[in-house]
Structure 1
Protein backbone atom coordinates (compact mmCIF):
# COMPACT_ATOMS: atom_id res chain seq x y z
CA UNK A 1 0.00 0.00 0.00
CA UNK A 2 1.48 3.31 -1.05
CA UNK A 3 0.16 6.58 0.30
CA UNK A 4 -1.70 8.77 -2.15
CA UNK A 5 -0.45 12.26 -2.99
CA UNK A 6 -2.10 13.86 0.02
CA UNK A 7 -0.69 11.30 2.45
CA UNK A 8 2.87 11.04 1.23
CA UNK A 9 4.35 13.76 3.44
CA UNK A 10 2.81 12.60 6.74
CA UNK A 11 6.08 11.18 8.08
CA UNK A 12 8.69 13.25 6.22
CA UNK A 13 10.22 14.66 9.41
CA UNK A 14 10.58 11.19 10.91
CA UNK A 15 12.10 9.84 7.71
CA UNK A 16 14.62 12.65 7.39
CA UNK A 17 15.56 12.49 11.08
CA UNK A 18 16.04 8.70 10.93
CA UNK A 19 13.18 7.87 13.29
CA UNK A 20 12.29 4.74 11.34
CA UNK A 21 10.06 2.96 13.86
CA UNK A 22 8.07 6.10 14.64
CA UNK A 23 7.68 6.88 10.93
CA UNK A 24 6.40 3.38 10.19
CA UNK A 25 3.96 3.70 13.08
CA UNK A 26 2.63 6.97 11.63
CA UNK A 27 2.03 5.34 8.25
CA UNK A 28 0.37 2.31 9.87
CA UNK A 29 -2.02 4.43 11.93
CA UNK A 30 -2.74 7.00 9.23
CA UNK A 31 -3.30 4.53 6.41
CA UNK A 32 -4.92 1.83 8.55
CA UNK A 33 -2.68 -0.80 7.02
CA UNK A 34 -0.53 -3.70 8.15
CA UNK A 35 2.97 -3.29 9.52
CA UNK A 36 4.39 -4.76 6.32
CA UNK A 37 2.43 -2.29 4.17
CA UNK A 38 3.47 0.60 6.41
CA UNK A 39 7.12 -0.39 6.01
CA UNK A 40 6.60 -0.41 2.24
CA UNK A 41 5.05 3.07 2.34
CA UNK A 42 7.91 4.32 4.54
CA UNK A 43 10.64 2.97 2.26
CA UNK A 44 8.88 4.27 -0.86
CA UNK A 45 8.71 7.76 0.65
CA UNK A 46 12.32 7.44 1.87
CA UNK A 47 13.44 6.74 -1.70
CA UNK A 48 11.57 9.81 -2.98
CA UNK A 49 13.02 12.06 -0.30
CA UNK A 50 16.55 10.73 -0.91
CA UNK A 51 16.21 11.79 -4.56
CA UNK A 52 14.39 15.09 -4.01
CA UNK A 53 16.06 16.31 -0.81
CA UNK A 54 19.38 14.53 -0.35
CA UNK A 55 20.92 17.42 1.58
CA UNK A 56 18.30 17.10 4.31
CA UNK A 57 19.68 13.74 5.47
CA UNK A 58 22.51 13.74 8.00
CA UNK A 59 23.37 10.07 7.36
CA UNK A 60 24.28 8.29 4.15
CA UNK A 61 22.06 5.44 2.93
CA UNK A 62 24.05 2.62 4.53
CA UNK A 63 24.35 4.34 7.89
CA UNK A 64 20.66 5.29 7.88
CA UNK A 65 19.55 1.63 7.85
CA UNK A 66 22.25 0.33 10.23
CA UNK A 67 20.80 -1.84 12.99
CA UNK A 68 17.32 -1.86 11.46
CA UNK A 69 16.14 -5.35 10.63
CA UNK A 70 12.74 -6.06 9.19
Structure 2
Protein backbone atom coordinates (compact mmCIF):
# COMPACT_ATOMS: atom_id res chain seq x y z
CA UNK A 1 0.00 0.00 0.00
CA UNK A 2 1.48 3.36 -0.94
CA UNK A 3 1.59 6.34 1.43
CA UNK A 4 -1.26 8.21 -0.24
CA UNK A 5 -3.58 5.21 -0.13
CA UNK A 6 -2.93 4.98 3.61
CA UNK A 7 -3.45 8.73 4.01
CA UNK A 8 -6.71 8.55 2.07
CA UNK A 9 -7.88 5.73 4.35
CA UNK A 10 -7.10 7.86 7.41
CA UNK A 11 -9.01 10.79 5.94
CA UNK A 12 -12.06 8.66 5.15
CA UNK A 13 -11.90 7.15 8.65
CA UNK A 14 -12.03 10.68 10.10
CA UNK A 15 -8.57 10.33 11.64
CA UNK A 16 -7.64 13.93 10.93
CA UNK A 17 -4.55 14.33 13.11
CA UNK A 18 -2.90 11.05 12.06
CA UNK A 19 -3.66 11.88 8.41
CA UNK A 20 -2.08 15.31 8.76
CA UNK A 21 0.98 13.80 10.43
CA UNK A 22 1.26 11.17 7.68
CA UNK A 23 1.14 13.92 5.05
CA UNK A 24 3.93 15.76 6.87
CA UNK A 25 6.07 12.63 7.00
CA UNK A 26 5.38 11.48 3.43
CA UNK A 27 6.04 14.85 1.83
CA UNK A 28 8.27 16.53 4.43
CA UNK A 29 5.84 19.45 4.64
CA UNK A 30 5.53 22.02 7.39
CA UNK A 31 2.49 21.69 9.61
CA UNK A 32 0.79 24.62 7.86
CA UNK A 33 1.35 23.10 4.41
CA UNK A 34 0.22 19.66 5.59
CA UNK A 35 -3.04 21.16 6.88
CA UNK A 36 -3.62 22.83 3.51
CA UNK A 37 -2.86 19.61 1.64
CA UNK A 38 -5.16 17.68 3.98
CA UNK A 39 -8.00 20.11 3.19
CA UNK A 40 -7.38 19.78 -0.56
CA UNK A 41 -7.24 15.99 -0.38
CA UNK A 42 -10.37 15.84 1.81
CA UNK A 43 -12.32 17.89 -0.76
CA UNK A 44 -11.01 15.68 -3.57
CA UNK A 45 -12.07 12.51 -1.74
CA UNK A 46 -15.49 13.98 -0.93
CA UNK A 47 -16.02 14.59 -4.66
CA UNK A 48 -14.62 11.29 -5.92
CA UNK A 49 -15.61 8.90 -3.11
CA UNK A 50 -18.70 10.41 -1.46
CA UNK A 51 -20.13 7.06 -0.39
CA UNK A 52 -17.04 6.32 1.70
CA UNK A 53 -17.89 9.11 4.16
CA UNK A 54 -20.32 8.27 6.94
CA UNK A 55 -20.87 11.80 8.27
CA UNK A 56 -21.60 15.22 6.76
CA UNK A 57 -18.83 17.72 6.12
CA UNK A 58 -19.87 19.77 9.16
CA UNK A 59 -19.91 16.72 11.42
CA UNK A 60 -16.56 15.57 10.02
CA UNK A 61 -14.86 18.77 11.18
CA UNK A 62 -16.68 19.09 14.51
CA UNK A 63 -14.25 19.22 17.41
CA UNK A 64 -11.19 19.95 15.25
CA UNK A 65 -9.65 23.38 15.66
CA UNK A 66 -6.89 24.71 13.44
RMSD: 1.5
Higher normalized helix content (fraction of residues): 2
TM score, norm. by length of structure 1: 0.85
Moved over 6 A (4+): none
TM score, norm. by length of structure 2: 0.90
Which sections of structure 1, spanning at least 5 residues, go unmatched? 1-5
Question: Relative CO higher for 1 or 2, CA cutoff 8 Å, sep ≥ 6?
Answer: 1
The number of residue pairs the alignment matches comes to 65
Partners of 1:8 and 1:43 in 2: CA distance:
14
